[in-house]
Amino acid sequence: MTPWTVTDLGTASTREAVDLLLGLAAREDTRAGEDAILPATLADSVTVWPTLLTLARDARAPGRSRRQAVFWLGQAAGDAATRGLTDLVDDADLDRDVKEQAVFASSQQPREAGVPALIRIARTHPEQGVRRKALFWLGQSGDPRALALFEELLTKP
């Protein structure tokens, strides 16, 4: 059995640790890059969602890291994060997988923010697949506004 060599890199600030982790996620197309996002989201006293939004939009970043960034954006609380998610869905330059992950992330928001965003996507998004995802997650919500939309869509000629 080979013993592990440990190197103490010293103490780093929370901001430095988050920057290191998200930098790894932005450049490593490996499980390590993807897995670097979760610990960055757990950092105390650092707001990571703006950087996650930048990562999600970066076409040069690995797809697996971009999808993880969108997922964790969906877990972030507040209207600002929800606005960022709907901006991702509407970004014509992003690939469909990232948009669909943003739809899922919107479904994870509190109802008062997530349901209206999903209804708007279901009504107006130009891509049929993205609209279908929004409708699917609306169906999972059990929200009466979703039922009203379904009735409207099913009864219009």
Domain ranges of the chain: 13-76, 78-157
What does the pLDDT read at residue 33? 87
78-157: CATH topology:
Leucine-rich Repeat Variant (1.25.10)
Q: Which regions in the chain score pLDDT beneath 70?
A: 1-2, 9, 74-83
19 Cβ contact list (under 8 Å, min separation 6): none
Q: Which residue pairs from 133-142 have beta carbons closer than 8 angstroms and sit at least 24 positions apart in sequence? A: 133/100, 133/103, 133/104, 134/103, 134/106, 137/103, 137/104, 137/106, 137/107, 138/107, 140/107, 141/107, 141/111, 141/114, 141/115
CA-to-CA separations, 1 to 4, 5, 6, 7, in angstroms, rounded: 9, 13, 16, 19
Q: What is the pTM of this model?
A: 0.59
pLDDT at 145: 93
Q: Which two tokens stand for residue 43?
A: 């950092």
According to the model, what pLDDT value does residue 53 have?
85
Q: List C-alpha distances in Å: 94 to 8, 10, 77, 80, 135.
A: 40, 39, 23, 20, 20
Instruction: Identify the pLDDT of residue 26.
Output: 93
Question: What would the pLDDT profile of 113-145 be if each residue is shown by its tens digit?
Answer: 889 999 999 999 999 999 999 999 999 998 899
Query: At how many degrees (to 10) do helices 14-27 and 49-57 cross?
Result: 10
For residue 21, the model assigns a pLDDT of: 92
pLDDT of res. 100: 92
pLDDT at position 69:
87
Count of CA atoms in the C-beta half-sphere (13 A) of 135: 17
Closest CA to 55 of 72, 43, 39, 42: 72
